[in-house]
């Protein structure tokens, strides 16, 4: 198998390329602006003004108060702060979640459970990654005042949950509701005045911004205990000098995504449907992991099984052909234990090893999709069987 003269990047759910306009916007903060945003002199005040402008930009798109946005180093820190901070500040003894959350959630929940701080209910899931609301309500009834942590859309299979319905149920039972919205931020709209969620999280590199910066939304009045000590920044919820260039870049990137949301999502969903159509024409029995209904699936993600058996080298073979895709979360790369998400929705190991997550970005084209399918046809020579 020859090496490809080109490279095609279809792993945007792991990280999007930074928008050149975002990079250009950030440069002035690195090159021209000196000071610390906590300083009271003119240099510090200028940075503080830029910091608060970024906060206003983000909160404006989410219909929340600027003071409800806490800047962090990314989605992982934001999830940790929300879950650990809420448990410690509110004396929470029980958490309701699923086994297909991002590891930034599951590992925190498991650690709290292991040290006896909480007990946990894991909701049962169907083949599309959905839970039964009756089971959620029963768990809420049995554990009043608990914390519910359910992501907005799964990062591996793209299934979208109804945050308003979940939040309404949580509120009726006095539970706090945390949702990891890292995959949906900049792609789906959120109105936090109307959606009863107490915490949401975001990471800039998922919506064409810089790596190493994100934020946590904390609804006003909800108690959180900080996990980083050493300063009074971010309303004393996150110690450490704020990364103003990255924060400004994040706000710029998010603003651009939401201002161009309709055009952007039409392009992304068009690529998703085009690839699925091409795969169905080229192979028999493609198995979709996650929601088969585009209305309840992220436009950025398509996860499919290319059949059972084989040597499990499909991703490696695609990489040799110049195609960057994944089999699951990049945060699990090298663990060699397979996708916890696919296990969680009942995909048989024989199929899971041939699963491919294609995730789309604004830079991708239909011509790239054609190239990918042609290479898959050369690699996957046997007819694909039904199953899973």
Catalytic residue numbers read 331
Burial of 311 (0-12, 13-18, 19+ CB in 10 A): exposed
Q: Is the dihedral of CA 275, 280, 285, 290 positive or negative?
A: positive
Can you list the positions of beta strands (E) in the chain? 8-9, 69-72, 94-97, 119-122, 147-149, 176-180, 199-203, 214-218, 287-288, 301-305, 323-324, 355-359
Burial of 300 (0-12, 13-18, 19+ CB in 10 A): buried
Report CA-CA distances (Å) from 333 to 105, 247, 337, 338, 348: 17, 27, 9, 9, 20
Q: What is the CB neighbour count within 10 angstroms for residue 231?
A: 14
DSSP string, 42-98: HHHHHHHHHHHHHHHHHHHHHTS-GGGEEEESSHHHHHHHHHHHHHHHHT--EEEE-
């Amino acid at each position: 198998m020859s090496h490809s003269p080109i490279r095609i990047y279809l792993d945007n759910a792991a990280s999007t390329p930074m928008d050149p306009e975002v990079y250009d916007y950030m440069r002035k903060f690195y090159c021209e602006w000196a000071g610390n945003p906590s300083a009271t002199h003119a240099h510090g005040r200028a940075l503080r003004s830029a910091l608060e402008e970024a906060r206003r930009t983000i909160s404006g798109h989410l219909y929340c108060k600027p003071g409800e946005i806490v800047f962090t180093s990314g989605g992982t820190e934001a999830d940790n702060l929300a879950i650990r901070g809420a448990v410690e500040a509110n004396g929470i003894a029980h958490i309701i979640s699923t086994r297909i959350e991002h590891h930034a959630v599951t590992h925190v929940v498991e650690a709290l459970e292991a040290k006896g701080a909480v007990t946990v209910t894991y909701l049962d899931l169907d083949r599309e990654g959905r839970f039964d609301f009756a089971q959620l309500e029963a768990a809420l009834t049995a554990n009043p005042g608990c914390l519910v942590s359910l992501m907005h859309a799964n990062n591996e299979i793209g299934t979208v949950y109804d945050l308003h319905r979940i939040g309404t149920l949580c509120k009726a039972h006095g539970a706090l509701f945390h949702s990891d919205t890292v995959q949906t931020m900049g792609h789906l709209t959120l109105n936090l005045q109307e959606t009863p969620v107490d915490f949401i999280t975001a990471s800039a590199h998922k919506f064409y911004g810089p790596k190493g910066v994100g934020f946590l939304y904390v609804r006003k009045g909800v108690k959180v205990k900080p996990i980083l000590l050493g300063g009074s920044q971010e309303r004393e919820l996150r110690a450490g000098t704020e990364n103003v260039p990255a924060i400004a870049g994040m706000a710029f990137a998010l603003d651009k995504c939401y201002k161009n949301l309709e055009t952007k999502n039409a392009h992304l969903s068009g690529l998703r449907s085009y690839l699925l159509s091409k795969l169905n024409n080229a192979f028999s029995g493609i198995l979709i992991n996650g929601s088969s209904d585009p209305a309840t699936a992220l436009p950025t993600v398509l996860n499919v099984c290319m059949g059972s058996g084989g040597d499990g080298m499909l991703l490696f073979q695609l990489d040799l052909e110049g195609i960057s895709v994944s089999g699951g979360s990049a945060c699990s790369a090298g663990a060699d234990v397979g996708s916890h998400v696919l296990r969680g929705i009942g995909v048989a190991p024989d199929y899971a090893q041939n699963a491919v997550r294609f995730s789309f970005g604004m830079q991708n084209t239909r011509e790239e999709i054609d190239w990918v399918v042609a290479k898959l046809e050369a690699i996957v020579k046997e007819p694909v069987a039904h199953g899973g």
